[in-house]
């Protein structure tokens, strides 16, 4: 899997700044509990590790004020890390909630734990061609470049600060050469780097959990040329990352 282009970027920063989409819903949403008969546990926070504060009967309608990322749950609607806030200190797993969508349908909860998660990548569905940051569309490096430019507001590209960033496996070394901090501890807004495999992998750190795991957004990992968000840990395995670039 080739992940970068070995020639200077031709697109100006003005064009980069012009690419801006919003994935966050603007209003609260409605949902229906679907557990195939069993009551659904309501938690005090977005995860199965939070205390139970009640339950809802199968078929109960709910108003979802906002959504956030928590522990991964497998339920009626597949596997999801999205949790729906239905009141103060009341969260239910989206995997057991019918909303008409597998993604976000309500605003992101503004508790400081989640920032811009969502598939706002402007080349969703692309499987080739060169993006404005001089990486191949649909690859993890292209999505990470989009996150760095859009979320962090940096004029990032494949030759940022005079360094060739190249394939994902080279990004931590490129960052060091460019004078950018790289550590072994994740922080929200970092680019996580996995140095194993032929090409490596990069992802955007969206949330850091209390147990040391962290939620990432990426492309071309969960499925080929497809957006994903999932919970990772530190290490060198296929679902792990060992280096974290602190762009800011």
| 32-57 tens-digit pLDDT | 999 999 999 999 988 888 899 999 99
Per-residue pLDDT of 122-132, as tens digits, reads 999 999 999 99
What is the percent of the chain with per-residue pLDDT over 90, rounded to a whole number?
Answer: 56
Question: What is the mean pLDDT of the segment spanning 167-179?
Answer: 98
Which is more confident, 22 or 156?
Answer: 156
DSSP codes joined into one string, 154-219: ----TTGGG----SGGGHHHHHHHTT-EEESS--TTPEEEE--SSS-EEEEEEEE-TTS-EEEEEE
Q: How far apart are CA 182 and CA 87, in angstroms?
A: 39
87 pLDDT more than 90: yes
Average pLDDT over the chain, rounded to an integer: 84
What is the residue extent of each domain of the chain?
Answer: 13-20+123-246, 29-98
12 pLDDT more than 60: no
What CATH architecture applies to the domain 29-98?
Answer: Roll (2.30)
Fold of 13-20+123-246: endopeptidase fold (from Nostoc punctiforme) (3.90.1720)
Residue 15 pLDDT level (bands cut at 50, 70, 90): very low
């Amino acid at each position: 899997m080739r992940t970068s282009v070995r020639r200077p970027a031709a697109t100006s920063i003005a064009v980069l700044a012009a690419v801006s989409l919003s994935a966050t819903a603007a209003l609260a949403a409605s949902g229906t509990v679907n557990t195939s008969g069993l009551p659904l546990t309501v938690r005090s926070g977005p995860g199965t590790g939070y205390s139970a504060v009640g339950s809802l009967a199968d078929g109960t309608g709910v108003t979802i004020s906002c959504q956030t990322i928590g522990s991964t749950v497998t339920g009626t609607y597949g596997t999801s890390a999205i949790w729906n806030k239905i009141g103060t200190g009341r969260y239910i797993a989206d995997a057991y909630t019918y909303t008409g969508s597998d993604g976000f349908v309500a605003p992101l909860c503004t508790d400081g734990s989640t920032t811009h998660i969502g598939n706002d990548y402007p080349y969703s569905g692309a499987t080739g061609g060169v993006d404005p940051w001089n990486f191949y569309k649909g690859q993890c490096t292209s999505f990470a470049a989009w996150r760095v430019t859009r979320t962090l507001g940096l004029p990032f590209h494949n030759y940022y600060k005079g360094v060739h960033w190249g394939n994902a496996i080279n990004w931590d070394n490129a960052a060091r050469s460019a004078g950018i901090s790289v550590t072994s501890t994740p922080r929200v807004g970092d680019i996580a780097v996995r140095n194993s495999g032929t090409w490596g992998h990069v992802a955007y750190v969206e949330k850091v959990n209390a147990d040391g795991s962290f939620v990432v957004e990426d492309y071309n990992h969960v499925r080929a040329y497809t957006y994903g968000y999932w919970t990772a840990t530190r290490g060198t395995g296929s679902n792990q990352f060992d280096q974290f670039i602190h762009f800011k």
